[in-house]
């Protein structure tokens, strides 16, 4: 019988997205390398593996901009497992040697994996032994899978154009047009259902391995969805759209630590008053889907549930937006009443008002404390210092949206951002005074701060465990290229990293409760 961790227990874990795993096909996936990483976590007595959203990515390959709030990324399906199942041959997996094993080449990965997924589907259709399980999966997930599969098939048919550019009857979802499309594109619809079925099979295999080792999985729920997505196409009344289906207002953040003009994300805003009428049914389905995969989940941009930054869609930047109310208490009351207790993490970073903190605390959601924000001019800097932490929080050295700890510490001001050279110098001096070292291993200095703090949960980005610099940064907000590409190399998490992480985990009382770890 395995022990499943809780955010209420003292523990630690690692932040690593699945795409950042090594592997033979240009991108990390749910195959053998994911299971090897589970072994690393187990040997280091870690209790949590935190990931980014797993969705089918849209523009910019961002996991936070998906064409479905439910569907898994096809690139994460393991071709090696499809070969084991007899759906691919060894010869079909040759010829895709990584040119740069330290980076994801998304274009190359799609070009290699998609044709092989199609070959696997053709073979799957030729045999009947898996049909019962497949049919059960399709029926169980019909609430989102039918729209996603039809949307994806139509998008292929329309050469990738946004749904707002489709013929009017399809854009407006005229029932007769949808029935005709389903008849005409049945084979292609089945292909996208098959991908999601295999994703689910491979995910269950990984989830079971984690549970066997007592490792919990932390997912990520982006508050907004992409405009060009199955969700908005299938539910236009839930979003602020004009008569052609285009957004009238879009989401983002006001000017802050990351950007002097704010961030214009471009996601359409929700009509919360419409969603409230049916008890937020769309969201209930979304939370249910998420917690079928994960043990806990980070609520991205938690601030938006209290208030969100509304930007006129015509504006090129976020500078002239205004705040509009979010759904607040009623939303979480409805979700928790329907689904019961959920382990939710409030991503309470940015312009956090007393009202946001009060909303978080009324539901006892743990918030986030980021050590990189503790030593400079961030308005919340004092709350990010370890002596001010509550027990009910998660501490991170950094997040996916800022530099690695080594890159941040050695920043000379040439990478942009809002800090000037004098602020960088004073911030570095503050760090060194606090940690009491010379900073030669600043990543381990901050990891130690995180682990020795009273925070129940300490999560360390994989790049910081390896002491990597700015080249390993995952995402630079406000930029459209070069993000989400970092991968570690096979052998990076060797015995030295295991031993050091395990030692620190034991010293500061965060060792996993599973016997044998």
Which domains does the chain possess? 1-55+68-223+492-517 (3.20.20.80), 235-366 (no CATH), 369-486 (no CATH)
CA atoms within 13 A on the CB side of 360: 25
Q: Among the options 147, 198, 378, 401, which is catalytic?
A: 401
* Count of positions (residues) in the chain: 517
Q: Which residues pair with 216 in a beta bridge?
A: 48
Name the packing angle between helices 131-140 and 186-212 (round to 10°): 90
Q: 245 in the Ramachandran plot: left (φ > 0), alpha (ψ -120 to 50) or beta?
A: left
Report pLDDT for 393: 98
Q: What is the residue whose two structure tokens read 């029926």?
A: 139
Report pLDDT for 257: 64
Q: What is the largest CA-CA distance in the chain?
A: 70
Question: Where does residue 216 rank: exposed (0-12), middle (13-18), buried (19+ CB within 10 A)?
Answer: buried
How crowded is residue 329: how many other Cβ atoms within 10 Å of its Cβ?
13
Report pLDDT for 2: 61
Question: Where does residue 288 rank: exposed (0-12), middle (13-18), buried (19+ CB within 10 A)?
Answer: middle
| CB 400, CB 15: distance < 8 Å | yes
Dump pLDDT digits (tens) for 100-128: 889 999 999 999 999 999 999 999 999 87
Phi and psi dihedrals of 93, rounded to 5? -100, 5
Dump pLDDT digits (tens) for 263-307: 898 999 999 999 999 999 999 999 999 999 999 999 999 999 999
Report pLDDT for 512: 84
| CB 130, CB 124: distance < 8 Å | yes
What parts of the chain have a pLDDT lower than 70?
Answer: 1-2, 96-98, 257-258, 414-418, 515-517
Q: Among the options 347, 348, 445, 464, which is catalytic?
A: 347
Q: Among the options 29, 188, 300, 348, which is catalytic?
A: 300
347 flagged as catalytic: yes
């Amino acid at each position: 019988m395995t022990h499943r961790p809780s955010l209420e227990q003292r523990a630690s874990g690692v932040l690593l997205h699945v795409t950042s795993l090594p592997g033979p096909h240009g991108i990390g996936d749910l195959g053998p390398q994911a299971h090897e990483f589970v072994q690393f976590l187990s040997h280091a007595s870690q209790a949590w593996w935190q990931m980014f959203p797993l969705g089918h990515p849209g523009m910019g390959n961002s996991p936070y901009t998906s064409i479905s709030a439910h569907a898994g990324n096809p690139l994460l399906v393991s071709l090696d497992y499809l070969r084991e199942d007899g759906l691919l041959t060894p010869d079909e997996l040759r010829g895709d040697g990584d040119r740069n094993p330290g980076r994801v080449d998304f274009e190359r990965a799609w070009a290699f994996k998609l044709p092989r997924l199609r070959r696997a589907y053709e073979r799957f259709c030729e045999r009947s032994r898996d049909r019962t399980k497949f049919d059960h999966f399709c029926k169980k997930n019909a609430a989102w899978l039918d729209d996603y599969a039809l949307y994806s098939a139509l998008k292929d048919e329309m050469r990738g154009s946004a749904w707002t550019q489709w013929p009017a009857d399809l854009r407006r979802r005229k029932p007769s047009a949808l029935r005709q499309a389903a008849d005409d594109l049945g084979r292609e619809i089945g292909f996208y259902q098959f991908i999601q079925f295999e994703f689910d099979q491979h995910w269950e295999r990984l989830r079971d391995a984690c549970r066997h080792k007592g490792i919990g999985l932390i997912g990520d729920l982006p508050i907004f969805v992409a405009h060009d997505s199955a969700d908005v196409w299938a539910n236009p009344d839930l979003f602020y759209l004009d008569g052609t289906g285009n957004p009238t207002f879009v989401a983002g953040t006001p000017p802050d630590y990351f950007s002097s003009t704010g961030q214009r994300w471009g996601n359409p805003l929700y009509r919360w008053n419409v969603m409230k009428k049916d008890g937020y049914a769309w969201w209930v389905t979304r939370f249910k889907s998420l917690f079928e995969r994960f043990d806990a989940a980070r609520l991205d941009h938690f601030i938006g549930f209290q208030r969100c930054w509304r930007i006129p869609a015509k504006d090129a930047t976020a500078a002239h937006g205004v705040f509009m109310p979010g759904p607040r208490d009623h939303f979480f009351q409805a979700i928790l009443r329907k689904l019961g207790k959920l382990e939710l993490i409030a991503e309470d970073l940015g312009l956090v008002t007393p009202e946001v903190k009060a909303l978080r605390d009324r539901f006892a959601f743990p918030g986030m404390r980021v050590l990189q924000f503790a030593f400079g001019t961030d308005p919340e800097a004092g709350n990010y210092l370890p002596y001010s932490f509550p027990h009910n929080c998660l501490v991170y050295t950094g997040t996916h949206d800022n530099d690695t700890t080594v890159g941040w510490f050695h920043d000379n001001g040439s990478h942009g951002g809002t800090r000037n050279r004098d602020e960088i110098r004073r911030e570095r001096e503050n760090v060194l005074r606090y940690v009491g070292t010379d900073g030669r291993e600043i990543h381990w200095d901050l990891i130690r701060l995180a682990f020795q703090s009273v925070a129940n949960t300490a999560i360390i980005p994989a790049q910081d465990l390896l002491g990597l610099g700015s080249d390993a940064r995952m995402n630079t907000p406000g930029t459209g290229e070069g993000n989400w590409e970092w991968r570690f190399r096979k052998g990076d998490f060797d015995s030295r990293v295991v031993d050091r992480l395990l030692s620190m985990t034991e010293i500061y009382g965060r060792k996993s409760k599973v016997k044998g770890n």
